[in-house]
């Protein structure tokens, strides 16, 4: 007679996932811990509001180990992992999020995080920042700073600043080189494609794949798709980015030009209705739609629902909308497909991104900055990159004195050696 032994608890599973992240995060677990060890965050309340999975959880533990009182929430109701929530709670941390919520429950979670009166926010999409401004104005006025993860959140903060209603400094992690050059391009580029293929079990080689938006996320997505053999197309409204896409080897066109032959479509604009109601008639039968931008509204899901004569769920996280004689397949209900439908960015990528977030928050706590949107100083950005290179066993040479031009000497009539 065999005995059935109980499996690990959700908290134990979540703890193992966080430990897996720690072992592959040498910058957060080394350079950042050392930098945050000066006591500047002791007793400071920090709300961490990023997609709540193991990598975010590890960032939260690093901040807590530096002495901060950390409140953890998720930046999207579809990307919270309950085992990670349980692991953080077992560790004694404050978590105001739960998996499998809807937008109303998520909104209440945001307000619950706000009610802890954070001094600083590590935000994603400025989701908590905007809600505090609207629903908790007295607590919003007491904020001392925000460190923002995304392009979308940075644009929102800049818009608030332009109205003169941003009373504190905001650090845009997104604009640091160690974030957008790696997270947006390599992180989203790899994991968005991975999630699409995992959820659909479709072949990418030889397909016609369209990317809507050619910022750093869009170019990473197009790059990985092309490397895997797809015929890549780009829709872009910015003329310079469109020209970049053309010179990178992608076919650039309007929705009317490229959507009718698209077999896979990724939205990557950071805005809303990148695929809107007016685009639905252009979609071919059996097309797959996925979002790798920020907002769940990049694909107008409500317009799809209104237009559909039937909706079925043929696979996990796949909804098929019948539009006349065409089937349109939507992944992860329009949420970020690489997180809602996958495991999110590689650990090594988030080691860089979250190092920027942590160092940015520490910089806010240790410097008097004017209200407005700021980027971490170049020397800190470089220090993060050096720490990452060191963990890889890579060292850099220094510029020699004879490799530098002395412009002043040249202007005074001197000359340099040929």
Task: Give dist(CA 161, CA 149) in Å, integer.
Answer: 17
Average pLDDT over residues 53-71: 98
Task: Give dist(CA 291, CA 83) in Å, integer.
Answer: 25
In the numeric block, which tokens belong to residue 103? 């937008």
Residue 396 has pLDDT above 90, yes or no: no
Q: How confident is the model at residue 413 (pLDDT cuts 50, 70, 90)?
A: low
Q: Look over the chain and give the mean of its residue pLDDT values, rounded to a whole number.
A: 94
Give the CATH superfamily of 180-340: NAD(P)-binding Rossmann-like Domain (3.40.50.720)
Q: How confident is the model at residue 404 (pLDDT cuts 50, 70, 90)?
A: confident
For tokens 């942590």, name the residue: 358
Give the percent of the chain with pLDDT over 90.
Answer: 88
Residue 293 has pLDDT above 50, yes or no: yes
Nearest-10 crossing angle of helices 82-90, 10-23: 90
Q: Among candidates 356, 363, 410, which has minimal Cα distance to 383?
A: 356
pLDDT at res. 2: 59
pLDDT, one tens digit per residue, over 133-158 is 999 999 999 999 999 999 889 999 99
pLDDT, one tens digit per residue, over 296-305 is 899 999 999 9
Q: How confident is the model at residue 418 (pLDDT cuts 50, 70, 90)?
A: very low
pLDDT, one tens digit per residue, over 96-127 is 999 989 989 999 999 999 999 999 999 999 99
* CATH number of the 10-179+345-391 domain: 3.40.50.1480
pLDDT at res. 16: 98
pLDDT at res. 295: 77
Equal CATH topology for 10-179+345-391 and 180-340: yes
Average pLDDT over residues 369-380: 96
pLDDT at res. 399: 81
Q: What pTM, to 2 d.p., does this model score?
A: 0.87
Q: What's the Cα-to-Cα distance from 58 to each of 8, 67, 179, rounded to whole Å?
A: 20, 15, 17
Residue 405 has pLDDT above 90, yes or no: no
Average pLDDT over residues 403-409: 74
Residue 417 has pLDDT above 70, yes or no: no
> In which order are the strands placed within the sheet that holds 310-315?
251-252, 231-235, 208-212, 264-267, 287-291, 326-331, 318-323, 310-315
In the numeric block, which tokens belong to residue 43? 């007793």
Residue 57 DSSP code: H
pLDDT, one tens digit per residue, over 321-362 is 999 999 999 999 999 999 999 989 999 999 999 999 999 999
Q: How confident is the model at residue 403 (pLDDT cuts 50, 70, 90)?
A: confident
Domain boundaries, the chain: 10-179+345-391, 180-340
Q: How confident is the model at residue 77 (pLDDT cuts 50, 70, 90)?
A: confident
């Amino acid at each position: 007679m065999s005995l059935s032994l109980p499996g690990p608890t959700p908290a134990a599973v979540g703890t193992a996932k966080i430990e897996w992240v720690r072992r592959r995060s040498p910058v957060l677990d080394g350079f950042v811990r050392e930098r945050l060890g000066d006591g500047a965050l002791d007793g400071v309340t920090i709300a961490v509001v990023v997609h709540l999975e193991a990598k975010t959880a590890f960032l939260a533990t690093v901040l807590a180990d530096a002495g901060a009182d950390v409140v953890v929430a998720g930046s999207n109701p579809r990307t919270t992992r309950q085992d990670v929530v349980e692991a953080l709670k077992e560790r004694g941390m404050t978590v105001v999020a739960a998996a499998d919520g809807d937008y109303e429950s998520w909104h209440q979670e945001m307000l619950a995080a706000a009610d802890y009166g954070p001094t600083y926010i590590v935000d994603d999409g400025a989701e908590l920042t905007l809600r505090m401004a609207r629903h908790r104005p007295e607590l919003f006025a007491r904020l001392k700073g925000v460190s923002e993860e995304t392009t979308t959140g940075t644009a929102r903060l800049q818009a608030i600043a332009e109205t003169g209603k941003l009373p504190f400094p905001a650090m845009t992690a997104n604009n640091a080189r160690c974030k957008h050059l790696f997270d947006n391009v390599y992180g989203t580029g790899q994991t968005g494609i991975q999630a699409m293929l995992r959820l659909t079990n479709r072949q990418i080689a030889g397909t016609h794949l369209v990317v809507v938006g050619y910022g750093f996320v869009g170019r990473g997505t197009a790059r990985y798709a092309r490397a895997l053999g797809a015929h890549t197309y780009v829709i872009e409204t910015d003329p310079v980015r469109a020209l970049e896409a053309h010179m990178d080897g992608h076919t650039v066109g309007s929705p009317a030009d490229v959507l009718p032959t698209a077999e896979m479509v990724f939205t990557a604009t950071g805005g809303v209705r990148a695929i809107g109601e007016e685009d639905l008639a252009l979609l071919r039968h059996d097309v797959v739609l996925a979002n790798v931008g920020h907002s769940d509204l990049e694909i107008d899901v409500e317009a799809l629902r209104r237009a559909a004569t039937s909706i079925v769920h043929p696979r996990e996280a796949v909804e098929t909308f019948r539009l006349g004689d065409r089937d349109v397949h939507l992944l992860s209900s329009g949420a970020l497909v690489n997180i809602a439908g996958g495991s999110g960015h590689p650990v090594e990528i988030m080691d860089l991104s979250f190092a920027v977030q942590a160092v940015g928050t520490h910089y806010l706590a240790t410097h008097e900055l004017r209200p407005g949107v700021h980027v971490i100083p170049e020397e800190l950005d470089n220090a993060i990159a050096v720490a990452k290179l060191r963990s890889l066993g890579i060292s850099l040479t220094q510029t020699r004195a004879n490799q530098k031009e002395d412009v002043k000497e040249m202007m005074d009539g001197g000359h340099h050696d040929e």
